[in-house]
Each structure stands twice: as C-alpha cells, then as structure tokens.
C-alpha cells in the first residue's frame, strides 16, 4: 500500500462533490479526523455516500489502510507533529493554497484512498475520500479531454479544463464567473447546476448571454499578493 502525491486533477476529489460527480467516480464515503488537543489522539467520523459499496471486504481493507499509517514508526497519521514533519519533507504534495493542505493517494487492487492532510492545530487534520479505483480512474482519464462549449448548432466554440471557470456576459452587460466541472462528454456542471452541453448553449442564446473562458489569474502573482497583505 504505497502512497504517492496527488496530481492537481486528483486534488479536487478530496472535497465534497455534487451527487452526480460522486456517482460517476464511485465514491463510497469519506473519513474526517483530527488529532485532538494533545496532537496524539485520533477522533474520527465516517460519512456514507454509497452504503451498497461499503462491503465487508472494503471495511476490512479501509481499517488496514488507516491503521498502517497510524501505528507504524513515524507514519504520517500517528500524530500532528509526525504529519507536520511528513508535509515539510514532501513539499511536492502541497496544494499551494493558504490553508496549508497536502495530498496523497493510496491505491489497492480495487480501491483508491485520496487523503487531504492539514497539520494545523484546530483544523480537521485528515479527510480521506474512498473510491472504487476503476471508476475514479476512468472519470479522471475522460476528464482530461476537457469541457466542450458549443453553440446551439453543435459547433464547438472552445474547451476548458475540468475545474476551470467561464465568464458569462449577461444581456444587461454585467459579467459573472462560474466554475465548471466535467461530468461526461455531453454534460457539465456550471456552478451548482447540471446541464447537457446543448441545453446550456440554447439557454445562453435565449437569454442573450455570451460565454468565454475566464481569464486565468497568475498563480505566482496571487501568492505574492497574499504574502504582502
């Protein structure tokens, strides 16, 4: 049960998703835990998503995975100080945000465990999202194709990567941005709403909206701004 650093695409799946995305990726449920006031405890809560996928074999394996990283010598779930040391020694696992979050993935034959780590006191120190490995891998591979935006005549206008934003110019001249998620080649989420790609195109045309990819903020500049605040 070796771990590896999460890819940028995989990090999105260490947070709660919509029901549609959770179904697509084979989410079983997730564990949330913290190390308590001493930094050496392990208070945890399990949250079901698909009880039908939470088989006895899965439960046995999940216990083995968590305990193997809790009770080994220097393992990263054994306490807050050990997790802090692990995160410091693996900067490549950082989410590069202001929450001090890090991510690792553990794969077994049938399941994938995507862990979001936060060694800060007063935070939940672990979120572990558990997936059917084949379902998750298939969805991640398909999502690499990006999200298509078309006109009502099915002519492709542009594509964006899963999780990127679009800029919608409304009929009155106002502009708003929405994060988009890949569902499959013909469906997407815009904000919290699910659409067929043609349905979204028709809706925009009917309301006089124009859509284009949102300008990408320079990540380095954004970090520099945070440091100077």
Asked whether residue 177 carries a pLDDT value surpassing 70, the answer given is yes
Length of the chain: 229
CA distances from 191 to 17, 18, 219 (A): 12, 10, 22
**Whose structure tokens read 């398909």?**
142
Answer yes or no: is pLDDT of 226 > 80. Answer: no
Contacts of 168-176 with CB under 8 Å at 24 or more apart are 168/204, 168/209, 168/210, 168/211, 169/209, 169/210, 169/211, 169/212, 170/207, 170/208, 170/209, 171/207, 171/208, 171/209
pLDDT band at 95 (very low <50, low <70, confident <90, very high): very high
pLDDT band at 128 (very low <50, low <70, confident <90, very high): very high
Per-residue pLDDT at 129 exceeds 70: yes
Report d(CA 3, CA 12) in Å as an integer. 18
Using alpha carbons, list the distances in angstroms from residue 110 to 17, 58, 59: 21, 9, 12
- Backbone phi, then psi, for 66, in 5-degree steps? -65, -45
pTM of the complete model: 0.89
Contact (CB, 8 A) for 119 and 80: yes
- State the pLDDT at residue 74: 63
- What are the DSSP E strand ranges found in 10-58? 27-34, 43-48
| pLDDT per position as a tens digit, 8-46 | 999 999 999 999 999 999 999 999 999 999 999 999 999
Name the DSSP letter for residue 152.
T
Q: What is the pLDDT of residue 221?
A: 47
In this predicted model, which residue has the larger pLDDT, 2 or 208? Answer: 208
Quick one: tokens of 224? 């520099």
Q: Are 11 and 98 in contact (CB under 8 A)?
A: no
Q: What pLDDT score was predicted for residue 99?
A: 84
Query: Which of 88-97, 137-146, 202-211, 212-221 has the least mean pLDDT?
Result: 212-221
What domains lie within the chain, and their CATH numbers?
3-141 (3.30.450), 145-213 (no CATH)
């Amino acid at each position: 049960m070796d771990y590896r650093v999460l890819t940028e695409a995989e990090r999105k799946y260490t947070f709660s998703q919509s029901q549609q995305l959770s179904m697509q990726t084979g989410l079983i449920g997730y564990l949330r835990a913290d190390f308590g006031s001493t930094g050496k405890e392990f208070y945890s809560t399990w949250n079901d998503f698909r009880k039908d996928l939470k088989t006895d074999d899965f439960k046995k394996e999940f216990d083995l995975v968590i305990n193997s990283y809790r009770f080994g010598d220097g393992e990263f779930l054994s306490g807050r100080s050990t997790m802090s040391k692990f995160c410091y020694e693996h900067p490549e696992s950082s989410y590069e945000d202001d929450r001090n979050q890090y991510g690792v993935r553990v794969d077994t034959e049938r399941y994938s465990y995507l862990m979001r780590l936060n060694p800060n006191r007063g935070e939940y120190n672990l979120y572990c999202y558990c997936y059917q490995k084949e379902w998750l891998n298939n969805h991640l591979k398909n999502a690499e194709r990006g999200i298509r935006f078309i006109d009502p005549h099915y002519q492709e206008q542009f594509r964006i990567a899963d999780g990127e934003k679009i800029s919608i110019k409304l009929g009155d001249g106002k502009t708003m941005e929405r994060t988009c998620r890949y569902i499959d080649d013909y469906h997407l989420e815009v904000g919290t709403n699910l659409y067929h790609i043609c349905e979204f195109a028709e809706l925009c045309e009917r309301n006089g909206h124009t859509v284009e990819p949102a300008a990408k903020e320079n990540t380095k500049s954004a970090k520099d701004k945070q440091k100077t605040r």
